[in-house]
Amino acid sequence: MRRFALIMAAVAGAALAGCSSSTSSAPAASSPSSSPATSSSAAATGTITVFAASSLKETFTKLGDQFDAAHPGDTVKFSFGASSTLATQITSGAPADVFASASPKNMTTVVSAGDASNPQDFAKNTAEVAVPPSNPANVTSVNDLAKSTRAWCT
C-alpha cells in the first residue's frame, strides 16, 4: 500500500506542477487499510485515505478516479476541507495516508506531532492583483492595497 501512496503523490505532483495552488503533500504515519493478495505475484490492494485542501478537490478527485480505474482493487477515499481543520483531525487521531495542505504552517503542525514525515512541495502559487482596465486607484503593487484610501475584496 505504500506503493499506492507514493504513486498517488507522484501523480498529484506531476499533474499539479503547473497549477496556481500552493500545497504540500506527505504521507501520514498511519497505515492504510489493505487486504493481502492471495498469491505471491499479486500486489496488495486496499484503500488509501487522502486528506486534502478544498482547493484541490476537483483535480484530486479526477486523479483518484484515474488511479482507481488503473488499479482495480485499490480505492482512494478523500476528505476535503480547510487545511487547518484537516491538520487538527489528523493530530487528533483521524487516519490519513496522505495529507495535501494548502499551508506550510498546517503541514508543520502535522509533521511536528509525528503524524507525517518528509513533506514535499508539489505546487506553488503567485499572488496577483487585478485592477479595472483604467486603474482609477493607480494600484501598481501589493503595497498600494495597504493604503487607507483603497478598498479590496477577495
pLDDT band at 70 (very low <50, low <70, confident <90, very high): very high
pLDDT value, residue 55: 92
- Cα(148)–Cα(103) distance, rounded to whole angstroms? 28
pLDDT value, residue 5: 43
SS3 114: coil
- What does pTM read for this prediction? 0.60
Residue with cell 500552493: 22
CB atoms within 10 A of CB 5: 19
Measured CA distances, 104 to 12, 22, 53, 84, 135 (Å): 17, 9, 12, 10, 34
| 63, 69, 71, 76: CA torsion to nearest 10 | 50
Residues 116-127, mean pLDDT to the nearest whole number: 87
